[in-house]
Structure formats: C-alpha cells, structure tokens
Amino acid sequence: MSDEEILAVVREHCVRVLKVDPARVTREARLRIELDADSLDLAELHVSMEETCGPIPRETLARAQTVGDLLERVRELVGEPAR
C-alpha cells in the first residue's frame, strides 16, 4: 500500500469515528487538538482500525499524536516501506 492509500484508510476511520470533515484529516492534524478526539474517541478509533488492519497492539496507537503518526503505525503493521 502506498502512503496515500494508507492515508485514505486512516482518513475514512477518522471521519467515521470522530465525525469530522475529511478535509480536516491531514497528516499534520493533531488528533486531540484539531480533530477534538478524547480518550474514548481514540479507543473507538483503535477498534475501528483493527477491523481493517487486524490486531493492533494498544500501545501502538496510544502514542499517536497526529494523523501522520497513525499512518506510520499502520504502515509498520502492514510491513510497507515509506513511498
């Protein structure tokens, strides 16, 4: 998967779970600040991402601060180098 394909997946989950405009879900967007995610939202996002990516260790997404961080974690999980 390319970075853009992974970003599209992450964006889809953020839009559905966080109920934000897709245009707000950029690599630089901070989950808690720009996307207004609280702890419960992040837990729900984790579960949602597992539906697509398979099991994700809790600490993997817990450290994510931005959408770009999520993209990096998903890339690691699917074993893809950066493109």
Percent of the chain surpassing pLDDT 70: 95
Give the Å distances, CA to CA, from 5 to 2, 9, 10, 36, 83: 5, 6, 9, 24, 11
Distance CA 80, CA 83 (A): 9
- CA atoms within a 13 Å half-sphere pointing along the CA-CB vector of 26: 6
Under the banding of pLDDT at 50, 70 and 90, the label for residue 80 is low
Please say if the pLDDT value at position 81 is more than 60: no
The architecture that CATH gives domain 3-78 is: Orthogonal Bundle (1.10)
Question: pTM (2 decimals)?
Answer: 0.84
Segment 23-54, tens digit of pLDDT: 999 999 999 999 999 999 999 999 998 888 88
Distance CA 67, CA 7 (A): 8
Average pLDDT over residues 9-36: 95
